[in-house]
Amino acid sequence: MAAISSNDIKNGITLKVDDGLFTVIEFQHVKPGKGGAFVRTKLRNARTGAVIERTYRSDERLEQAIIDKRDVQYLYRDGDDYVFMDQSTFDQLAMPAASLGDAANFLIETGKAMLVLHDEEIIGVELPASVELAITETEPGVQGDRVSGARKPATLQTGYIVQVPLFVGPGEVIKVDTRTGEYITRA
């Protein structure tokens, strides 16, 4: 672990705090008129996603966690695990479904992702900003269904249900935002 000063905190840095891994999502250096300077931070737990707020003195030393990111390809589901293949070494890595969270809604076989590892332990998965998925079930689009803002539910090939415009029909491929889970456009 690398020790850093609280003055060196930046967004995206991962810290080892209280035997947990936390990523800095927001920070603010504060220099009050009276007293010593300090750093106010918002930290996201890398394993659970919970957000906490912490304040550090300006001269406090913190442990920076070394995070490894690997390009992987999703291969298949094996019981309760999702199996990925490392693109550089071709090793297969299994990740429990509970660790994936919402990312499981957007994974299709041969889909690309990035695994986040700490000491060879998988702590998360990052997906591209958008993915293309086929619609397996929805009401068919009818000529003239062009009402602005009207939506209908559509089931994607992963089983995820998304709201799409009325003119989108079954069998079409659409782009879905992986951060919000919303329809973007037809592919």
How many whole angstroms separate alpha carbon 178 and alpha carbon 78?
23
CATH number at residue 31: 2.30.30.30
Q: Can you give the pTM of this predicted structure?
A: 0.67
Are 15 and 65 contacting, i.e. CB atoms less than 8 angstroms apart? Answer: yes
The per-residue pLDDT for 146 is 64
Q: Which domain holds residue 41?
A: 2-64
The tally of domains found in the chain comes to 3
Whether residues 99 and 146 share a domain: the answer is no
Torsion sign (Cα): 8, 9, 15, 16: positive
Q: Report pLDDT for 11.
A: 85
Domain boundary residue among 46, 64, 82? 64
Per-residue model confidence (pLDDT) at position 120: 79
- Of 106, 126, 146, which residue is a domain's last? 126
Contacts of 114 by beta carbon, 8 Å cutoff, 6+ apart: 69, 70, 71, 72, 125, 126, 127
The reply to whether 73 and 56 lie within a common domain is: no
- Per-residue pLDDT of the chain (187 residues), as tens digits, is 578 887 888 888 888 888 788 888 888 988 888 888 898 999 888 777 788 898 988 888 888 888 888 899 989 888 888 888 988 888 888 888 777 777 888 888 888 888 888 887 777 788 888 889 999 988 876 666 666 778 889 999 888 899 988 888 888 899 998 888 888 888 8
What is the pLDDT at residue 147? 67
Closest C-alpha to 118, from 2, 11, 12, 14: 14
Instruction: Output the pLDDT for position 143.
Output: 64
Residue 8 confidence (pLDDT): 83
Is the same domain home to 138 and 106? no
d(CA 143, CA 167): 7
**What's the rounded Cα separation, in Å, for the pair 95 and 49?**
17
Please tell me the predicted confidence (pLDDT) of residue 142: 65
92-105: burial string, b at 16+ Cβ within 10 Å, e else: ebebeeebbeebbb
Is residue 99 within 8 A of residue 107, CB to CB? The reply is: no
Residues 53 and 79 in one domain: no
Which CATH number covers residue 144? 2.40.50.140
